[in-house]
Every structure is written in C-alpha cells, then in structure tokens.
Amino acid sequence: MAKKERIGIVVSNKAAKTIIVVIQTKYQHPKYGKILIKTKRYMAHDENNLCKTGDMVLVEECPPYSRHKKWILKEILNKENVKLL
C-alpha cells in the first residue's frame, strides 16, 4: 500500500526534532452548499531541525516515532512565509 503524503504549512517548530504542520482542505457543505475550510494539525519528525514557521512542506506517513508523531518530513517545498487560506 502506498504511503500517504500531505502538503501543509509549518506553524510550530518549538519542540526538538518535531514540527507541527497545518493542512487545510476546502469542501462543500452537503445540504447548504457553502464552501467550508477544515483544518487538521499533524506532528511530524524533522531530524535536522531544518524547518521554520511559515515553510511549506511535504510530509509522509511513517511508523510511529512517538504517541502523536506518525509523519516524517520528506521535503521543504517553499522556504518563504506563506499565508494560510
């Protein structure tokens, strides 16, 4: 089975070797049709502490590093500050 990959924005890098990535998805309400934004936060493993707040990153699913860390940093896509949706 293929590993899941997600693109998101780093909102915190305060913990050692850990980043928190926010992933926002837009979807339409089933009854009313309004476009809504769902925000999900993932903890990811950053071995070399390369990421800073505002970086756009690609994270990949992996075996658990800890209780909450089940993702690993695969690539930094954009080293600029990116505005959230």
Which stretches in the chain have pLDDT values below 70? 80-85
CA 36 from chain centre, in angstroms, equals 19
Between CA 26 and CA 22 the distance in angstroms is 13
Total domains in the fold of the chain: 1
In-domain check, residue 62: yes
**83 within domain boundaries:** no
84 is a domain residue:
no
Q: What is the pTM of this model?
A: 0.85
The CATH number for 64's domain is 2.40.50.140
Residue the block writes with tokens 């699913």: 61
Domain of residue 48 covers 5-78
pLDDT value, residue 2: 87
